[in-house]
Amino acid sequence: MDALAVVALGGAFAGVMTGNLVFLGAALGGAGLPEGAVAPVAAVGGYVLGTACAGGVLRARWGGPLGVLSAETVLLAVVAGVWAVTGPSGNTSWALLAALAAAMGGQASAVLALGPAGAPTTFFTSTLTTLVVGVVRGDGIRRAGAPGARLCALVLGAVLGALLHRAAPGWAPVLPAAVLAATVLALARPAVRGQERRGD
């Protein structure tokens, strides 16, 4: 589904929100993507809507994960029908992309509800799913802070990378390397302190 969305619906993914958040950040950073920010916004918006709807269904216990997956099947059939009649062009492509992304959000929510046996396989998409389902389920805004911060950091990193690439293309790879180096150093510090304490 993602390849179809990328090739025919404006260059965004239906189910890989990490990629869509990077596309959004790059567009906001001026990378000159063909469809700008419209495709990633449609995809992320659709995904959030699908995830929220599925979270509500799962919270109310209306059919559980199987009910959500059944609804996804119906939504995909509607997408196929609209695609057959109108084709993926103009504003229809954004609606189709949002619908495909909504289906993927529902699917990810259903898989998440299955527990460890059905754990989602994409980190940031899983983070977005957990955030939306948690808010819908009523877990509270405080618990949304860490996942929300990770998602914002992803978009901010993409914006900074795109801006750096525009201003100094040769230096663009330095930013992620520098951030990673700083992270490694920050993580290594407590480990070194722990070893020093054990050595005393």
Mean pLDDT is lowest, of 8-22, 52-66, 114-128, 154-168, for 114-128
Per-residue confidence (pLDDT) for residue 121, from 0 to 100: 46
* Summary mean pLDDT of the chain: 82
Per-residue confidence (pLDDT) for residue 157, from 0 to 100: 79
At a CB cut-off of 8 Å and minimum separation 6, what does 67 contact? 57
Per-residue confidence (pLDDT) for residue 46, from 0 to 100: 98
Distance of CA 158 to the CA centre of its chain: 13
Q: In the chain, what percentage of residues exceed pLDDT 70?
A: 86
At a CB cut-off of 8 Å and minimum separation 6, what does 157 contact? 25, 175, 176, 179
Quick one: average pLDDT of 145-172? 80
Residue 198, pLDDT > 90, answer no
Cβ neighbours, 10 Å, residue 92: 15
Per-residue confidence (pLDDT) for residue 34, from 0 to 100: 55
Rounded Cα distance, 136 and 24, in Å: 24
Cβ neighbours, 10 Å, residue 100: 28
Per-residue confidence (pLDDT) for residue 122, from 0 to 100: 53
At a CB cut-off of 8 Å and minimum separation 6, what does 58 contact? 64, 65, 68, 109, 110, 113, 133, 137
Mean pLDDT is lowest, of 24-28, 51-55, 173-177, 189-193, for 189-193
What are the φ and ψ backbone dihedral angles of 63, each rounded to 5 degrees? 100, -10
Per-residue confidence (pLDDT) for residue 27, from 0 to 100: 87
Q: Crossing angle, helix 123-137 and helix 90-113, to 10 degrees?
A: 80
Type of residue found at 197: R
Q: What is the dihedral of CA 36, 22, 175, 127, to 10 degrees?
A: 160
Quick one: average pLDDT of 44-71? 90
Tokens of 28: 């906001």
Cβ neighbours, 10 Å, residue 153: 11
First CA to last CA distance, the chain: 57
Mean pLDDT is lowest, of 23-32, 42-51, 176-185, for 176-185
Q: For 4-129, list the strands marked E by DSSP.
A: none
Per-residue confidence (pLDDT) for residue 178, from 0 to 100: 85
**pLDDT tens digits, residue range 64-118?**
888 888 888 989 888 888 888 887 888 889 999 999 999 999 988 988 887 765 5
Rounded Cα distance, 174 and 177, in Å: 5
Residue 30, pLDDT > 60, answer yes
